[in-house]
């Protein structure tokens, strides 16, 4: 499953552009289709009530000198994230059908296939070394996608993205090596195996240091305030499609890794330092929302919205309740969907008017009612309107947080109010009123553009009404995480289990 | 101290175990004879045949000797695991380096060396020789001696043998550095600077060796190691001597503050030679330095460790910070090689077997990557020769996608990205140092690597994200020599990054220095 898009990307790179853009695209989509089929097969084999944490496990020795193995396996969380990757990448590319010039199609699709294979590897790795390798490797295709196909001051944004990520990555490297040395000292076996490492029983002092190293790396990736400043720049300078990949998928690796590695590996330190993480999360919720209100550029606005949403996710994770963690995981999935819906719909608009300034647009509703509808849907989905997946996610996170930290949760709830302001105000300023020069004469969305968004919209609605589908997968994982950090749900919550 | 009168006994020499470098030195002599007796038109093919045969023979001998542990030639030469590994690496590097040096398609008038080095730059003689299509085939004689010297350098087991090997390795390189076909004055200046500073550092080494002899009464590493704990009253003399010897060695590996020659020589020397020198000298000098500090001065670790600690720190940061502001690609790579010297010294400081293995791995990885990148630099040319100004690389990706992709890959390897040999190498060095309780140094090294990424990626940005301003700069089509050399270097960088286990297995089988 990892190898297929990788081989595909090599294939697409190798195809001469003379073959014609259309054929390259069809080959790429055929590969995406097969990858998705593989994902579905994997999902069918997955058993919800299995006792082992990871299923569909494969493991081969890789570098025995360091005890590195090529180990893959999925749990509920991993499976859900894989679903997100395999669905979102083709959706995004379908929406971005005409984003790149015909002679650059081969490279563009090649980079995307490469990105998909690397991200899949990140989500299935159960070996810390393997995870790290692919965690860093994600940067390469993304860097080129921003720097080469972006708009505006894209080089600066790409470099800023890369430097932030690399600094985080190198701090993580220091942590990874130290952890390996610890395992060598304690058990005389140097290993990167996740389950093995989580049974080491590190003392609290060591845990604290390593927690900080890992947390910084993942917080940069997520991103949390105060290490978020690369995201608005990167999003503004990317095409909407690349921005969705960046925010909707790549950044999820940060929060995913907190659940997969940070909590199980350093349980005591996680509990001890949770207040720090919670504070940063709450700060992100408000900072992101307020900055979104003040943004003049639509892509910047959406990037800040995401920072706010990542705040919710981290809040859910560090609340240490089953509900909070399940909610956070659900949020990660639904946020991918709502990001895609909003970014791509707004992207359609920007492509038509050639501007991403909010002030250039007004009254688009009269000209392009269907597009306005899509944007409204995206906006409401990111405000968490009941009936949509994001509502369930936000609600569960807040419920889970409330059980342990009622004041913090109450405070965070205010974030929803602010969210309504930025989303509705965006809609009001761009869609209603008298049509501006830029929007007059543009065409409404085409069939392809609607088809591209339809899976996202459908999933948002389905999960909005039947969230149990996902929670059945996620709950065992969050219970496992709770066990690993030796936390129990506060008494008030036991009855309210969803 | 009384020196007992002794009858001079000829030491018994095990010719078989020292054959890797004796083959090369012998070939050097034969090569000199070819130079003297063969017809001019026959010299180049004969020399190439000789060079490649002898290098392959030398490599084959190291393979046959694998696992041997013995002292020979009156204990002056120690054949052991790391020694053989280093000899094999040097032979491999030399084969690829020779392929690069043999390139004669890139420059319209011949190979990278002056038609005749003795002709005055800009004179009518020079033009005549160039038009006659002459080659300086004596570079192959020099080359063979240099490689033989390197191989002896890494197995030398006493201070004098080590010094002689150092000179056998260095002298030919001083000469070759001054023999560039293009920009000859720059090349000659570089050679002079290299020679003067090199001679100066040799003097440090010799003076240090004299002091150590004074303090311990021996030049053999075993005698020195044995004598150190027995003579505490001599410790000032001894430590001074060790420091002076280390200064001589640090010059060769290009550590700050003894690094000033590196950028000038790397820039001035013919680029294909720079490729070989940057890889080969680094391997040989670090190999010898490792043997010196572990084998002879192992018990003085508490004395040399703080000194090397400071040098390492200065080296890493001088390397990365100065590289940031370079405008010439060869100078930038020179400062990057200084930074890499710093990273390798992190492993030296750990002072453990894991440290030795990680250094050997790092040297192998670094050697191939460096060879590859310099050979690529030599292909990018404009009308006056190589276009090594960084700005002239703008938009290279649109002119030659494959070259740009190869450069990007090797730059990522130098920066230490995963799935390249550079990452595994850095990882193993840092892991060995953390195991040896050197965490602060590793954190600083990681910081330096983060800074280093900036200048490696600057090149990538230039190649991919900028438009070229002129059509003058183009990628030359090389002959098969360079293509093979490049393919091997890039493949090794990839293989050692994806599946490094076999090399670690080989290195781990005999990681110990004998003395």
Q: Which pLDDT tens digit goes with each residue over B445-467?
A: 988 988 888 888 888 888 887 77
Are the CB atoms for A249 and A280 separated by under 8 Å? no
Q: Which pLDDT tens digit goes with each residue over B104-143?
A: 777 777 777 777 777 777 778 777 777 777 778 888 999 9
Check if A3 contacts B (Cβ < 8 Å). Answer: no
- B435 to each of A251, B343, B359, B438, B443, how far by Cα in Å? 33, 16, 14, 7, 13
Length of chain B: 515
Lowest mean pLDDT among A429-438, B172-181, B313-322: A429-438
Check if B424 contacts A (Cβ < 8 Å). Answer: yes
Lowest mean pLDDT among A407-411, B58-62, B405-409: A407-411
Q: pLDDT category, A95, cuts 50, 70, 90?
A: confident
Are the CB atoms for A485 and A270 separated by under 8 Å? yes
Shortest CB distance from A155 goes to which of B428, B442, B465? B465
- B68 to each of B61, B291, B502, how far by Cα in Å? 11, 17, 19
Q: How many CB atoms lie within 10 A of CB B354?
A: 22
- Looking at the structure of chain A, the number of domains it has is 1
Q: What is the pLDDT of residue B94?
A: 93
SS3 at position A259: helix
How many angstroms separate the CA atoms of A85 and A16, rounded? 27
Q: Is residue A133 part of a domain?
A: yes
SS3 at position A445: coil
Shortest CB distance from A66 goes to which of B431, B446, B465? B431
Are the CB atoms for B157 and B76 separated by under 8 Å? yes
- B490 to each of A137, B22, B165, how far by Cα in Å? 18, 30, 30
Q: How many CB atoms lie within 10 A of CB B32?
A: 16
What integer best gives the mean pLDDT of chain B? 86
Structure tokens at A186: 């304690």
Say what the pTM is: 0.88
The answer to whether residue A373 scores a pLDDT higher than 60 is: yes
Check if B226 contacts A (Cβ < 8 Å). Answer: no
Structure tokens at A100: 């790149």
- B21 to each of A187, B87, B146, how far by Cα in Å? 44, 8, 10
Q: Which residue has the tokens 């008038």?
A: B109
A371 is in which domain, residue-wise? 3-493
The answer to whether residue B416 scores a pLDDT higher than 80 is: yes
Strand A55-63, strand B70-72: pairing: unpaired
Q: Is residue A409 part of a domain?
A: yes
* One-character DSSP codes across A346-378: HHHHHHHHT--BGGG---HHHH-HHHHHHHHHH
Tally A–B CB contacts below 8 A.
78
Cβ-defined contact of B417 to A137 (cutoff 8 Å): yes
Q: How do the residues of chain B divide into helix, strand and coil, expressed in percent and rounded to 5?
A: 75, 5, 25
The answer to whether residue A119 scores a pLDDT higher than 70 is: yes
Check if A127 contacts B (Cβ < 8 Å). Answer: no
Are the CB atoms for B280 and B326 separated by under 8 Å? no
The answer to whether residue B410 scores a pLDDT higher than 90 is: yes
The answer to whether residue A240 scores a pLDDT higher than 50 is: yes
Q: What is the pLDDT of residue B270?
A: 87
Q: Cα A345 vs. chain centroid, distance in angstroms?
A: 18
Q: Is residue A498 part of a domain?
A: no
Chain B residues within 8 A of A180 when measuring between CB atoms: 431
* One-character DSSP codes across B452-485: HHHHHHHHHHHHHHS--S-S--EE----HHHHHH
Check if B464 contacts A (Cβ < 8 Å). Answer: yes
Q: What is the pLDDT of residue B344?
A: 93
Select from A169, A306, A298, A305 the least CA-distant residue to A249.
A306
Check if B509 contacts A (Cβ < 8 Å). Answer: no
Q: What is the pLDDT of residue B166?
A: 92
Shortest CB distance from A173 goes to which of B446, B454, B465? B446
Q: Which pLDDT tens digit goes with each residue over B12-46?
A: 778 888 888 999 999 999 999 998 888 888 888 89
Q: What is the pLDDT of residue B203?
A: 92
The answer to whether residue B275 scores a pLDDT higher than 60 is: yes
Chain B residues within 8 A of A178 when measuring between CB atoms: 434, 439
Please, which residues have CB within 8 angstroms of residue B336's CB and are 6 or more apart in sequence? Answer: B319, B320, B323, B414, B452, B455, B456
Chain B residues within 8 A of A132 when measuring between CB atoms: 418
Are the CB atoms for B278 and B245 separated by under 8 Å? no
Check if B66 contacts A (Cβ < 8 Å). Answer: no
Q: What is the pLDDT of residue B152?
A: 92
Kindly identify which residue of chain B lies nearest to residue A175, measuring between CA atoms.
Answer: B443
A residues 421-480 lying closer than 8 A (beta carbon) to B: none
The answer to whether residue A8 scores a pLDDT higher than 60 is: no
Q: Is residue A328 part of a domain?
A: yes
Average pLDDT over residues B168-180: 89
The answer to whether residue B426 scores a pLDDT higher than 50 is: yes
Q: Which residues of A37-73 are buried (b: 16+ CB within 10 A; e: fewer)?
A: ebbeebbeebeeeeeebbbbeeeeebbebbbbbbbbb
Structure tokens at B458: 């600057």
Q: How many CB atoms lie within 10 A of CB B325?
A: 10
Average pLDDT over residues B485-491: 92
The answer to whether residue A495 scores a pLDDT higher than 60 is: no
Kindly identify which residue of chain A lies nearest to residue B357, measuring between CA atoms.
Answer: A65
Average pLDDT over residues B4-11: 67
The answer to whether residue B93 scores a pLDDT higher than 90 is: yes
Chain A residues within 8 A of B412 when measuring between CB atoms: 140
Select from A242, A354, A342, A250 the least CA-distant residue to A301.
A342
Chain A residues within 8 A of B417 when measuring between CB atoms: 136-137, 140
Are the CB atoms for B247 and B306 separated by under 8 Å? no
How many angstroms separate the CA atoms of A230 and A306, rounded? 13
Chain B residues within 8 A of A62 when measuring between CB atoms: 499, 501
Chain A residues within 8 A of B461 when measuring between CB atoms: 147, 155, 158-159
% of chain A residues with pLDDT over 70: 92
How many angstroms separate the CA atoms of A280 and A298, rounded? 25
Report ipTM for this prediction: 0.83
B164 or B385, which is more confident = B164
């Amino acid at each position: 499953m990892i190898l297929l898009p990788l081989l595909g990307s090599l294939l697409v790179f190798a195809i001469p552009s003379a073959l014609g853009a259309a054929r390259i695209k069809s080959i790429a989509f055929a590969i995406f289709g097969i990858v998705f089929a593989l994902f579905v097969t994997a999902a069918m084999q997955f058993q919800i009530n299995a006792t082992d944490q990871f299923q569909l496990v494969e493991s081969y020795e890789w570098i025995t000198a360091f005890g590195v193995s090529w180990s893959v396996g999925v749990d509920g969380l991993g499976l859900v994230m894989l679903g997100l990757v395999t669905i979102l990448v083709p959706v995004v590319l379908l929406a971005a059908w005409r984003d790149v010039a015909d002679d650059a199609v081969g490279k563009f699709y090649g980079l995307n296939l490469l990105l998909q294979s690397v991200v899949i590897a990140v989500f299935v790795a159960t070996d810390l070394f393997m995870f790290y390798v692919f965690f860093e490797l994600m940067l390469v295709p993304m860097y080129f996608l921003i720097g080469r196909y972006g708009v505006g001051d894209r080089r600066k944004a790409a470099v800023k993205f890369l430097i932030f990520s690399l600094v985080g990555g190198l701090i993580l490297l220091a942590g990874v090596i130290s952890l390996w040395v610890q395992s060598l000292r304690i058990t005389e076996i140097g290993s990167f195996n996740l389950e093995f490492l989580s049974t080491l029983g590190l003392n609290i002092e060591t845990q604290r240091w390593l927690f900080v190293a890992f947390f910084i790396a993942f917080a940069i990736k997520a991103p949390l305030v105060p290490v978020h400043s690369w995201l608005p720049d990167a999003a503004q300078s990317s095409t909407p499609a690349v921005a969705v990949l960046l925010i909707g998928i790549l950044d999820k690796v940060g929060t995913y890794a907190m659940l997969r590695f940070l909590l199980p590996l350093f349980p005591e330190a996680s509990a001890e330092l949770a207040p720090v993480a919670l504070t940063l999360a709450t700060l992100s919720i408000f900072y992101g929302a307020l900055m979104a209100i003040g943004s003049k550029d639509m892509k910047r606005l959406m990037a800040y919205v995401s920072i706010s949403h990542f705040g919710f996710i981290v809040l859910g994770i560090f609340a240490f309740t089953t509900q909070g963690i399940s909610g956070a995981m659900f949020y990660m999935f639904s946020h991918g969907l709502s990001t895609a819906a909003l970014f791509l719909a707004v992207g359609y608009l920007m492509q038509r008017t050639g501007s991403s300034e909010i002030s250039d647009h007004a009254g688009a509703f009269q000209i392009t009612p269907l597009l306005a509808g899509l944007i409204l849907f995206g906006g409401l989905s990111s405000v968490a309107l009941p009936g949509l997946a994001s509502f369930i996610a936000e609600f569960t996170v807040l419920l889970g947080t409330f059980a342990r930290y009622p004041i913090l949760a109450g405070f965070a709830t205010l974030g929803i109010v602010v969210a309504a302001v930025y989303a509705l105000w965006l809609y009001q300023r761009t869609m209603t009123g008298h049509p501006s020069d830029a929007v007059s004469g543009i065409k409404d969305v085409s069939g392809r553009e609607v088809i591209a968004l339809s899976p996202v919209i459908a999933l948002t609605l389905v999960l909005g009404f039947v969230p149990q589908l996902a929670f059945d997968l996620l709950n065992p994982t969050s219970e496992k995480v709770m066990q690993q950090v030796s936390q129990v749900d506060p008494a008030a919550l036991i009855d309210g289990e969803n | 101290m009384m020196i007992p009168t002794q009858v001079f006994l000829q030491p018994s020499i095990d010719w078989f175990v020292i054959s890797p470098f004796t083959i090369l030195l012998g070939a050097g002599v034969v090569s000199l004879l070819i130079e003297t007796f063969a017809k001019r038109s026959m010299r180049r093919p004969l020399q190439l045949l000789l060079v490649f045969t002898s290098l392959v023979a030398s490599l084959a001998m190291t393979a046959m000797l694998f696992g041997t542990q013995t002292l020979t030639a009156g204990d002056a030469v120690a054949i052991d695991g790391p020694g053989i590994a280093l000899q094999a690496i040097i032979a491999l590097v030399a084969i690829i380096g020779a392929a690069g040096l043999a390139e004669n398609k890139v420059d319209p008038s011949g190979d990278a060396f002056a038609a005749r080095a003795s002709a005055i730059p800009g004179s009518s003689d020079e033009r005549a020789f160039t038009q006659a299509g002459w080659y300086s085939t004596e570079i192959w004689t020099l080359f063979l001696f240099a490689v033989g010297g390197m191989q002896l350098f890494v197995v030398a087991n006493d201070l004098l043998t080590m010094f002689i090997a150092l000179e056998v390795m260095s002298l030919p390189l001083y000469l070759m550095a001054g023999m560039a076909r293009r920009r000859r004055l720059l090349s000659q200046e570089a050679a002079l600077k290299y020679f003067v500073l090199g001679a100066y550092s040799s003097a440090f080494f010799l003076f240090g060796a004299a002091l150590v002899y004074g303090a311990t009464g021996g030049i053999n590493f075993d005698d020195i190691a044995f004598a150190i704990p027995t003579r505490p009253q001599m410790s000032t003399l001894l430590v001074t001597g060790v420091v002076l010897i280390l200064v001589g060695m640090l010059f060769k590996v290009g550590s700050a503050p003894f690094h000033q020659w590196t950028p000038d020589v790397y820039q001035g020397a013919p680029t294909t030679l720079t490729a070989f020198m940057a890889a080969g000298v680094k391997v040989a000098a670090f190999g010898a330095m490792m043997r010196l500090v572990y084998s002879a001065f192992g018990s003085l670790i508490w004395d040399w460790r703080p000194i090397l600690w400071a040098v390492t720190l200065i080296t890493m940061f001088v390397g990365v910070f100065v590289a940031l502001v370079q405008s010439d690609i060869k100078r930038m790579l020179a400062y990057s090689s200084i930074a890499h010297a710093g990273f390798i010294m992190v492993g030296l400081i750990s002072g453990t077997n894991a440290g030795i293995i990680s250094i050997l791995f790092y040297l192998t990885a670094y050697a191939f990557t460096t060879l590859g990148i310099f050979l690529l630099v030599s292909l990018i040319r404009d009308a006056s020769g190589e276009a090594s100004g960084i700005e002239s690389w703008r938009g290279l990706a649109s002119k030659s996608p494959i070259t740009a992709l190869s450069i990007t890959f090797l730059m990522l390897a130098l920066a230490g990205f995963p799935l390249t040999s550079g990452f595994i190498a850095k990882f193993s060095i840092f892991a060995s140092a953390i195991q040896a309780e050197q965490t602060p140094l590793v954190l600083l090294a990681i910081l330096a690597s983060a800074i280093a990424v900036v200048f490696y990626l600057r090149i990538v940005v230039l190649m991919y994200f900028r438009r070229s301003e002129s059509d003058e700069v183009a990628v030359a089509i090389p002959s098969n020599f360079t293509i093979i050399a490049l393919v091997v270097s890039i493949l090794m960088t990839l293989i050692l990054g994806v599946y490094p286990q076999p090399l670690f297995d080989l290195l781990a089988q005999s990681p110990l220095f004998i003395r």
